[in-house]
Amino acid sequence: MTNGSDEVPPAAAAEAPVHRLHHDGRSGELFVIFLVNLALSIVTLGIYRFWGRTRIRRYVWSQTSLLGEPLEYTGRGIELFLGFLFALVLIYGPIAGLFFWLDVELPESGEEFGGAKLNSLIVFIAILLLATPILMLFYYVALFAAYRYRIGRTSWLGIRGGMEGSAWRYGFLGLGLGFLNVLTLGWTKPWADSVVFKYRLGRTWFGNGQFQSHLDADGLYSRYALAWIGTAVAIGAMMAGLAAVSLNAQIMDHHVAVDPVRMQVIIVAIELTPLIVYQLLICAYKAALVRNIAKTLTYGTVRFRAEVTFKDVFKLRIPNFLLMAFTLGFAYPYVVLRTTRFVSRHVEFHGDIETAAIGQTDVGTPRYGEGLMEFFGIGMI
């Protein structure tokens, strides 16, 4: 007997079976679904897209399997459509109405245009101060609702997923953490991310079993600091670069004709530098976050691993972005499959998945889908 008896012996750990998701989607098949959606969305002035998105999810889910058994997406297009209508009438409508009302109530431009300009500036700032937290709140509410809908409409072996907890509480949590993030110039982000993911994952069910997350910000700060400092340096460099260009232009102005197009290209390139630096460096942070999320997640006796590296995340995100940008979105099916393959390649289930012990869930499922998300235009699938 060794004295480290509470540690799992390496031999035993190696014996625990490891399962992976298997993804069998083909880009040709998904591309046809994508084209059907495109044509019908245009004909129906965009309304078909809710049904189209449902078809895409059904395909992606059904081609992903665990223990040889495919996942199933049970959502319906009409649910997404109704969710969209509800969000339109209950949330987007009043906000748009408020803006329209303010627009009408502003003084008519006329004799006192100077005065009107001042008024509209004050109103604009007031709206900004008021609207930003409201939009942020709705963003997190929408995020939670969308996640809950997808989990609730995912089933495996006839057993459904489920989600408890309140979207509004999640919304206020996200709003508070976001506010803190602004106050600390972004230095609470790693901690805030871990709180937010822990909240969501810890309220996720599959059947009658609940996921547990012990996520903390352990090891996240060094990667994040790298991205933060790198971006700050890049912003400084950008400022210096822009100043140099403008100074150069002033000196050269009377002597040499500068090609304005070339000038614009140089300026845009300088302005994009911080964004590119951030997107590169943040890959290391995102990889660490994914590793931690998997490592601290359990479902009964099943443990998870997702040993992704900076290189893995880099090779997923950057080509995805470039593919979408340079094909005007037509690479979408391929990008979706790249992403699902990434997930199935890296996510590992450690331990026996005792299917006989998993009962049907009694967590209620939302009746309508993620409508609010529509107005933030995020999320790939």
Partner 1 sequence: MTSWGAAADGTYTDGRTARRHSVRISIEADGLRIESGDGAVAEVWPFADLRLVDEVYAGRPFRLRRDSGDARLTVAESEFLDRLHPHADHLRRKDLRRANVKVRAAGWIGATVAVLAGFWFLLPLAAGPIASQVPLSWEEGLGRTVQRQALALMAADSRVCTGSSGQMALARLVQRLSAASPSRYRFRVTVIDNKTVNAFAAPGGYIVVFRGLIDHSAGADGLAGVMAHEMGHVVERHGMEGLVKALGLSFVMGALIGDTSAIAGIATDMAQSLVTSKFSRDAEREADRIAVEMLNRTGISARGFQAFFQTMARKEGSGDSTVGRYFASHPATGGRAQFVKDRATGTSAAMSDAEWQAIRRMCSR
Q: What is the H or E stretch that residue 281 is in?
A: helix 260-295
Q: In this complex, which beta carbon is closest to partner 1, that of residue 21 or of residue 192? A: 21
Which residues are 162's β-sheet partners?
Answer: 205
Q: Is 329 in the site for partner 1 (CB under 8 A)?
A: yes
CA gap 189, 184 in Å, rounded: 9
Q: Is 17 in the site for partner 1 (CB under 8 A)?
A: no
Q: Is 367 in the site for partner 1 (CB under 8 A)?
A: no
Q: Is 365 in the site for partner 1 (CB under 8 A)?
A: no
Q: Is 43 in the site for partner 1 (CB under 8 A)?
A: yes
Which residues are 304's β-sheet partners?
Answer: 349
**In degrees rounded to 5, what are phi and psi of residue 99?**
-65, -40
Tell the smallest beta-carbon distance from residue 55 to partner 1 (Å): 8
Q: Is 207 in the site for partner 1 (CB under 8 A)?
A: yes
Which residues are 306's β-sheet partners?
Answer: 347
Q: Which two tokens stand for residue 328?
A: 């005007």
Report angle CA 341, 344, 347 to the nearest 5 degrees. 140
Q: In this complex, which beta carbon is closest to partner 1, that of residue 39 or of residue 244? A: 39
**In degrees rounded to 5, what are phi and psi of residue 107?**
-60, 140
Q: In this complex, which beta carbon is closest to partner 1, that of residue 186 or of residue 351? A: 351
Q: In this complex, which beta carbon is closest to partner 1, that of residue 71 or of residue 234? A: 71
Q: Is 356 in the site for partner 1 (CB under 8 A)?
A: yes
**In degrees rounded to 5, what are phi and psi of residue 139?**
-60, -45
Q: Is 335 in the site for partner 1 (CB under 8 A)?
A: no
Contacts to partner 1 by CB under 8 A:
24, 26, 28-29, 31-32, 35-36, 38-39, 41-43, 45-46, 49, 58-59, 62-63, 69-70, 72, 92, 96, 103-104, 106, 109-111, 113-114, 117, 120, 155-160, 207, 328-329, 332, 355-360, 374-377
